[in-house]
Structure 1
C-alpha cells in the first residue's frame, strides 16, 4: 500500500485546513441526538419512545433541509448559509432547555431543518479543491475524519450529560456549533473550483438535467449503506445483551469502527475507485451471517471484520460518485441530497433491526438489515448495467465514458455539459 495519494492530496491548497475544521465542526453535531435523548429522559422524565420522537423530528428536519440549504449555497454562496444555520442552531440549543415536550418536538423539526451543513459543505469543498485524480483519497480522508467525529461526539455528549447534566450538555452543544459556524465562516472554503464558473456568473442547471436515474441509484445505495450500519450498531448491542456480555459492547463497536477506518484508508490508495454498488453488495451480504455465527463478544468482533472493512469505502465511493455526476452549479444541492440519503438510512436501520429482533431473536437483526441492503443493490443493478453497457458505445463514438473525463454525466438522455479537463492539472501545493 502506497501513501503517495494521501501525501499529494494533503499537499493540495486548502485540503488540510478544511479537514481539520470540518472534523471539529462535526463533533457537536454528532453529539446532538444523544444529548436530546438524555434531556428528554433525564430532565423531562419521559420514556425513550418520547425521546425517539424528538430524535426522529430532528432527523427528518435535517433530511428535508440539507438539499434546500445546498441549493441556497449554490446560488448565494456559503457564508449566508453559515450565518443562517449557526444563528438558528444556537437559538435552538439555548431555547430547547426550557421548552415543554410538545414545543420541543416542533422546535426539533425546525432545528434539524436548519442544521449547520458541515458534512455536505466539506464534501462540496473537496470536489472544488481536489482535481479528479485526487478526489478519491480526499473523500477517503473525509470519510475517516467523519468516523472519528462520530466516535468522539456521542461519547462526549454522554460524558457531559451524565456528569454535569443534560442541560449543560445542550448548552455545550450550542456553544460548539457556534464555534464551528464561526470557524467555517472564517475559513470560507471554496465551493467552486478555479476552472469552474463562479457563483456571480449566475449559471443555472435544471434539476432534471442531473437528478437522473444514475444519481438516484447512488443516493439509494447511500441510504442502504447507512441502513446496514445503523442496524448493525443496534444488533451488536442486542446480541451482547442477550448473551450476558453487554459490558463488551464498547470493545466490539470500537473494533468495528477500526475495521472501517482501515478499510477507508486502504480504499483511498487505489488508482481508480469502484462503483458504490460493487461495495454495498458484499458489505450487505457479509453482514447477514454475523449474528448467526455466535454470540461471544470476541467472535462477534471477528465476524464483523469483512463487512466493517467495507463501511468507509462504500460511503467514500458514494460521495465520489455524486461529485462526478453533478455539475458545479448544482453540487451543493446534490451533496445535500447525498447527506439526506445517508441520514434516512441511519433513521431506518435501527427501527428495522429492532422490530425484527423483537419478533425473532437478536441474531436476526444482522440478517434483516443485510438483506435489505442486498435487495437495494439488486434494485439499482439495472442502472449500473446500463452505464457499463453505454461505455463501449460512447468510447466508439469518441465520447468520454466516465464522468470527470471531459463531461459531467449526460444521463440517459440530454446533452453533455462540457467543463475543462482536470486529470492533467498540476497539483497546487502550499
Structure 2
C-alpha cells in the first residue's frame, strides 16, 4: 500500500490537529437527530410521526442555515460564527427539556438554522491548508472521520437515552456542542490560505461561481446522500422482514467499515476519478443489494460494492467544490454543498420507506439506487457532449460544464 499521499497530507502544518479536533467535534453533532427522536418518543410519549416532524424541522433549519453561515464566515471570519452558533445551539439543547412539543418544533428549526458548522468548516479548512494537488487524500481522511463519528454518535445517543434518560441525552448533546465549539474556537483553523486573494476590492458575484458545473456537483452530492438515506431504511426493512432485526446494528457497522476502506483506497490512488462516475457506480451497485439474500450476513456482503463507494463519493465532490470556487466564497459554497447533502438525506429515507410500504423491502434499495444512478448518468452524458464540442471546435470558447473540477476528471 502506498501511504505516501497520506503522509504528505498529514505532514502539512495544521492538518493533523484539524482532523483530530473535527473528528471529536462531529460526535455530538451526529447524536442530535437520534437524541431528539428518542426524547419525543420516550419522554414526551408522542409517536414516531411527531418525532419525524421535529427532525424535519431541524433538517430544514440546517439546510437553510448552512450557506448563510458559510457566507458569514467568508465575510466576518470564523470565530464570530463559532461564538454565535455555539451559544445558540447549546441554548436550544439545554432548554429543550423545558419546551412543550409545539415550542420544541420552533426551537428545532432555529437550532438547525444556527447549527454549529463543523462539517462545512472542516471541508473549508482542508482547502485552505492543503494545496490542490494533495487534497484528494486529505478529503479522504475527512470522509473517514465523518464515518467514524457516525459510527459512534448515534449509538451513544441511543445508549444514553435507554440507560439513563432522554432528558439527560439532550443535556449531554448541549455540553458536547459547547466543547466542540470551544475546541474549534481555540484551534481557529484557517478558511483561506495565505496566498489566496481576499477579493475585497470586487466582491465575487454568485453568477461567477454558481455555474452549471457547480449546480451539477450540488445535485450529485444530494444524489449521494439520497442513496445513503434510502439504504439505511431499506436495511432495517429487509432484516425486519427476515425476523433478524437484532442484527441491524452489525450490518450497518459493516457497511460503514466498507465505506472507510473505500475512502482509504480512494486517497491512495494515483489518478483522480470523476465524482460523477463514483456517484453513478454507487447508485448502480445499490440497486441489487436487496436481492442478494435475506440473511443478515448475505445482506452485509451485498453491501460491499456500494459501501466501498460511499465515502469516496462525498470526498470527491468536496474536493471538486473546493477547486471550483474562489477562496473568498468557499464558505458559502461548502455551505450549499452541506445543504445538498442534508436535503438528500431528508429525501432518501421517506422515499425508500414509501416504496417499501407499497412493494417489498428489496425495492427500497432499487428505487433510491436508480435515482442516484440516473442523476449521475445525466451529468456524465452532459460531460461527454461537452467534450465532443471541444474536440469538434477547439478554438471556440467552451461552454460551462456541469461536472467536477478539472482535478477530479
Which TM class, normalised by the smaller chain length?
A: over 0.9
Residue matched to 2:179: 179
Per-residue CA deviation, residues 109-149 of structure 1 (Å, 9 max, x unaligned), is 11101000000000000001000111000000000000001
Query: Aligned partners of 2:185 and 2:156: how far apart in 1?
Result: 24
Counterpart position of 1:270: 269
SS at 2:268's partner residue? Answer: coil
The structural deviation recorded for 1:308 is 0.7
**3-state SS, counterpart of residue 154 of structure 1:** helix
Question: Normalising by the residue count of structure 2, what TM-score does the alignment of the two structures yield?
Answer: 0.95
Q: Determine the C-alpha separation between the residues in 2 that align with 1:123 and 1:386.
A: 31
Match of 1:116, SS state, is: coil
What is the aligned partner in structure 1 of residue 95 from structure 2?
95
CA offsets 1:334-364 (integer angstroms, 9 cap, x no match): 0000111111111111101100000111111
Residue equivalent to 2:56: 56
Check the 8 A contact 2:383/2:401 in 1, yes or no: no
3-state SS of the aligned residue for 1:194?
coil
What are the within-5 Å matches in structure 2 for residues 152-191 of structure 1? 152-191=152-191
Shift of 1:293: 2.2
Q: Which residue of 2 aligns with 1:418?
A: none
Aligned to 1:259: 258
Match of 1:375 in 2: 374
Change (3 A) 1:24 1:232: same
Instruction: Please state whether the residue corresponding to 1:310 is helix, strand or coil.
Output: helix
How far apart are residue 398 of structure 1 and its match? 12
Aligned pairs, how many? Answer: 403
User: Any stretches of 5+ residues in structure 1 without a counterpart?
Assistant: 402-409, 414-421, 423-430
1:43 aligned onto 2:9: no
Q: 1:332 matched to which residue of 2?
A: 331
Per-residue CA shift, 1:134-190, capped at 9, x if unaligned?
100000000000000111111111111111101111011011000110110110000
C-alpha distance in 2 between matches for 1:325 and 1:388: 18
1:139 aligns to 2:139 (yes or no): yes
- 220-229 vs 247-256, which moves further: 247-256
Change (3 A) 1:254 1:308: same
Please list the CA deviations of residues 250-292 of structure 1 after superposition, one character each: whole Å capped at 9, or x if unmatched: 1211111111000000000122321111001111111111111
RMSD: 2.0
Choose between structure 1 and 2: higher helix proportion: 2
Contact 1:124–1:331 at 8 Å: present in 2 too?
Answer: yes
CA distance in 2, matches of 1:327, 1:276: 20
Number of the residue aligned with 2:310: 311
Matched, 1:108 2:108: yes
How many Å separate the matches in 1 of 2:197 and 2:346?
36
Is the partner of 2:7 in helix, strand or coil? helix
User: Following TM superposition, by how much is the alpha carbon of 1:381 offset from its aligned partner in structure 2, in angstroms?
Assistant: 2.9
- C-alpha distance in structure 1 between counterparts of 2:360 and 2:184, whole Å: 45
Name stretches of at least 5 consecutive residues in structure 2 with no aligned partner.
none
Measure the CA separation in 1 of the matches of 2:19 and 2:396: 38
Query: Contact between 1:228 and 1:369, CA under 8 Å: does it hold in 2?
Result: yes
Provide, for residues 9-33 of structure 1, a one-character-per-residue CA deviation record: whole Å limited to 9, x for no partner. Answer: 0000000000111111111011000
CA distance in 2, matches of 1:356, 1:383: 29
Q: Distance in 2 between matches of 1:389 and 1:78?
A: 43
- Go from structure 1 to structure 2 and tell me whether the alpha carbon gap of 1:204 and 1:257 turns closer, same or farther (over 3 Å shift): same
Structure 2 match to 1:15: 15
Q: Tell me, yes or no, if the aligned pair for 1:66 and 1:339 is still in contact at 8 Å.
A: yes
Tell me the alpha carbon deviations over residues 50-87 of structure 1, each in whole angstroms, 9 at most, x when there is no partner. Answer: 00000000001000000000001111111111011001
- 1:29 corresponds in structure 2 to 29
User: Per the alignment, do residues 139 and 203 of structure 1 end up closer, same or farther by CA in structure 2, a change over 3 Å counting?
Assistant: farther
- Residue equivalent to 1:128: 128
- Cα deviation for residue 385 of structure 1 reads 2.6
Q: How does 1:350-361 map onto structure 2 within 5 Å? A: 350-361=349-360
Question: Aligned partners of 1:70, 1:223: CA distance in 2, in Å?
Answer: 18
SS in 1 for 2:320: helix
User: Structure 2 vs 1, CA of residues 412 and 381 (structure 1 numbering), >3 Å: closer, same or farther?
Assistant: closer
- Whether the 8 Å CA contact 2:31–2:157 is kept in 1: the answer is yes
CA contact (8 A) 1:197 1:203 kept: no
How high is the TM-score relative to the length of structure 1?
A: 0.90
User: In structure 1, what is the Cα distance between the partners aligned to 2:391 and 2:324?
Assistant: 19
CA distance in structure 1 between the aligned counterparts of 2:121 and 2:381, rounded to whole angstroms: 31
Where 2:116 maps in the other structure, the secondary structure is coil
> 2:12, 2:395 → 1: CA distance?
35
* Aligned residue in 2 for 1:279: 278
Match of 2:77 in 1: 77
Contact 1:78 1:191 in 2 (8 A): yes
